[in-house]
């Protein structure tokens, strides 16, 4: 029987034929695709022809098409709709891929061809983009250990393989904890909960085969429960379950894994001659050095902590007014902050949420993209990997641009959080290739599905990443879309969040789920007025996580990450009633892979730019100003990693911004 993963896909836009693919197809397809890529790399390295950009760099760009296709399909379903078979395959594939990558960068003949081209680069007649690809290819080889020899090269291969295994284990342990824990609610326990949350809890119970409602550790259920339940003992139970993910002991405990990952990263950096992993990692980012990151974070930490401590005093007084003695606890913050917002802004999440329908927010994101960049979205009837998924063809002036897939609802088979990935990236070499982009979120299911304001921001955020992929217009896939510096990649996503707060967007798309009425003007005014509500809390929980990540990777690797985490939080004066957004055992950004390791700060680095970038539209007097949108696309969204990130931003704004715009945007200093 033929394996659909290894055939040409005669499907609309050559999408993966998910209705024909079974889990049994993945291993043989992976084996065949990996072997094919090995042969392609060997042919490039062993050719007797002298190295040229075409027969070496472009040949490497063209190689691995089948492997990319298999992996793009597999990792999409493994992350968003996992099962025991897929988890076992992940554990098998990850170290083999790490070994394969190490084999390529350790191919001394291939590396010598790249070095020859590097030495001749000024005489090769390369375009700017080709010169950039050559530089990035060589840098990637060097930073992967291509210049190492003997025992050091072997040790580097061992480290990479082990890190791949540990990252997969960390992710799967976290998913197991999230899937396993739930709290059943009696009818009495529903006191104070808004109707939409009760419905979502009943849906979560049905998914688990239970007759009644449950709260899980999905943020879309846990956070609104913490905001609305007057039952303090239940809030504490949910908060402790949510914050203990990955650290509950037993076979799914991630603490020892985190320690080993940090030690291996330190050793990896030392093999390459770096002081520590943070110096290694940040060398290629906009920030450049750990000191630059530390300065940014502390510049934000100080005013944010001051605001959070002032807020904590207000909330603690509210706690005491309810007859509860003792200090404000972390499981109290959301509840009393929600009451305070209701009192100060007369804004109740339960009243707001019916105006934030998922389908209308998707429509809003699409309409903004149309007004800014001329994109149109038409639903596609195609086979996808889960019934919850939806797909659209993206066009501009009648020309195909991309396929966009949305997978929005939380389920036990999906890892937590929200992300954007490209099952296929944009390229013009070796052939014209339009991207297939997917947004994955974890919103509570409902009929209709209703979002919190934070959920709506998440939807716009991930769609900003999707636009970065869809509007990419470069030659080589290795530098297309979001293939940019980690502390630049969040700029398009965080910038796009601003359009959710444009009054005319909310006015048009925030319509009541039952009546269809637009959000009343007074409620809209309150939403915009309250946009910076609780920013002290939100900034502190984020910056604390970013500082812990940075210090984990600076200096010696901590033998006990939990003790090191506690020391860092004590040193910076972490408010007792606020927890890190991501504590070590569930800090997937940092420990599930290398993506955000020593790089969680990048959201804030990008926010410095996004606050300034949206100011360009304000200066033009129109959030949909055509010239500014065209400049944004021309200088940032279409360029991928073809130009240095700082240069791209300077082309758009004429300068790099300071931290003041961010602090003003968050309401942490006077505007």
Judge whether 475 and 427 are in contact, CB under 8 Å.
Answer: yes
Per-residue CA distances from 616 to 487, 621, 644 (Å): 20, 9, 21
- Cα dihedral sign, 283-289-293-296: negative
- Using the structure block, give the residue that is written with the tokens 């490209």: 422
Of 61, 393, 462, 497, catalytic: 462
Q: State the Cα–Cα distance between residues 189 and 187, nearest whole angstrom.
A: 5
Beta pairing, strands 390-396 & 399-409? antiparallel
**Structure tokens, 519:** 């959000």
Q: State the Cα–Cα distance between residues 576 and 415, nearest whole angstrom.
A: 29
401-404 LR contacts (CB < 8 Å, sep 24+): 401/375, 401/434, 401/470, 401/471, 402/426, 402/434, 402/435, 402/436, 402/437, 402/469, 402/470, 403/13, 403/15, 403/434, 403/435, 403/436, 403/437, 404/377, 404/437, 404/438, 404/439, 404/466, 404/470
- Using the structure block, give the residue that is written with the tokens 């401590």: 309
Q: Active-site residue 462, yes or no?
A: yes
- Using the structure block, give the residue that is written with the tokens 């990540």: 549
CA 609 to chain centre: 18
**Structure tokens, 285:** 């980012």
Q: How many CB atoms lie within 10 A of CB 570?
A: 9
Judge whether 147 and 114 are in contact, CB under 8 Å.
Answer: no
SS3 376: strand
Judge whether 247 and 167 are in contact, CB under 8 Å.
Answer: no
Indicate which residues carry an active-site annotation: 462
């Amino acid at each position: 029987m033929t394996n659909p993963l290894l055939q040409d896909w005669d499907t609309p836009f050559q999408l993966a034929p998910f209705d024909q693919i079974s889990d049994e197809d993945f291993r043989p397809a992976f084996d065949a695709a990996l072997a094919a890529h090995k042969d392609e790399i060997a042919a490039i390295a062993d050719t007797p022809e002298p190295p040229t950009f075409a027969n070496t760099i472009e040949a490497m760009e063209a190689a691995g098409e089948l492997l990319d296709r298999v992996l793009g399909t597999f990792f999409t379903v493994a992350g968003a709709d996992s099962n025991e078979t897929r988890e076992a395959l992940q554990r098998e594939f990850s170290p083999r891929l790490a070994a394969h990558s190490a084999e390529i960068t350790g191919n001394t003949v291939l590396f010598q061809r790249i070095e020859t081209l590097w030495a001749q680069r000024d005489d090769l007649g390369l375009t700017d983009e080709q010169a950039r690809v050559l530089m990035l290819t060589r840098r990637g080889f060097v930073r992967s250990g291509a210049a190492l020899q003997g025992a050091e090269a072997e040790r580097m291969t061992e480290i990479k393989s082990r890190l791949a295994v540990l990252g997969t284990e960390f992710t799967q342990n976290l998913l197991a904890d999230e899937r396993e824990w739930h709290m059943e609610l009696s009818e009495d326990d529903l006191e104070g909960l808004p109707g939409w949350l009760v419905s979502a809890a009943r849906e979560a119970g049905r998914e688990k085969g239970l007759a009644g409602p449950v709260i899980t550790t999905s943020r879309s259920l846990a956070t609104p429960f913490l905001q609305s339940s007057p039952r303090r003992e239940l809030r504490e139970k949910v908060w402790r379950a949510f914050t203990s993910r990955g650290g509950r002991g037993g076979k799914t405990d991630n603490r020892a894994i985190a320690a080993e990952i940090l030690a291996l990263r330190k050793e990896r950096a030392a093999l390459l001659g770096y002081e520590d992993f943070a110096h290694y990692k940040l060398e290629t980012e906009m920030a450049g050095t750990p000191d630059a990151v530390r300065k940014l974070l502390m510049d934000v930490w100080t005013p944010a902590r001051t605001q959070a401590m002032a807020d904590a005093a207000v909330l603690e007084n509210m706690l005491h007014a309810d007859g509860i003695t003792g200090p404000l606890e972390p499981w109290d913050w959301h509840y009393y902050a929600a009451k305070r917002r209701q009192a100060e802004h007369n804004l109740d999440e339960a009243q707001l949420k019916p105006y934030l329908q998922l389908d209308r927010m998707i429509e809003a994101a699409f309409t903004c993209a149309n007004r800014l960049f001329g994109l149109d979205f038409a639903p596609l009837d195609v086979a996808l990997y889960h019934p919850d998924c939806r797909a659209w063809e993206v066009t501009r002036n009648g020309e195909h641009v991309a396929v966009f897939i949305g997978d929005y609802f939380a389920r036990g088979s999906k890892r937590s959080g929200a992300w954007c990935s490209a099952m296929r990236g944009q390229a013009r070499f070796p052939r014209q290739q339009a991207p297939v982009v997917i947004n994955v979120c974890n919103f509570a299911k409902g009929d209709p599905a209703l979002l919190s304001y934070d959920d709506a921001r998440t939807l716009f955020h991930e769609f900003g990443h999707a636009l970065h992929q869809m509007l990419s217009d470069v030659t080589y896939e290795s530098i297309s879309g979001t293939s940019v510096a980690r502390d630049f990649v969040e700029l398009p996503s965080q910038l796009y969040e601003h359009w959710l707060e444009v009054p005319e967007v909310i006015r048009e798309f925030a319509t009541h789920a039952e009546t269809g009425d637009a959000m009343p003007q007074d409620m809209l005014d309150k939403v915009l007025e309250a946009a910076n509500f609780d920013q002290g809390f939100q900034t502190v929980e984020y910056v604390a996580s970013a500082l812990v990540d940075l210090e984990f990777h600076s200096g010696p690797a901590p033998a006990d990450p939990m003790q090191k985490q506690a020391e860092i939080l004590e040193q910076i004066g972490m408010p007792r009633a606020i927890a890190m957004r991501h504590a070590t055992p569930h800090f997937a950004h940092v420990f599930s892979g290398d993506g955000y390791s020593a790089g969680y700060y990048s959201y804030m680095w990008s926010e410095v730019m996004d606050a300034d970038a949206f100011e360009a539209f304000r200066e033009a007097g129109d959030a949909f100003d055509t010239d500014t949108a065209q400049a944004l696309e021309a200088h940032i969204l279409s360029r991928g990693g073809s130009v240095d990130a700082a240069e791209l931003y300077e082309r758009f704004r004429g300068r790099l911004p300071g931290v003041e715009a961010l602090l003003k945007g968050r309401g942490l200093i006077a505007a």
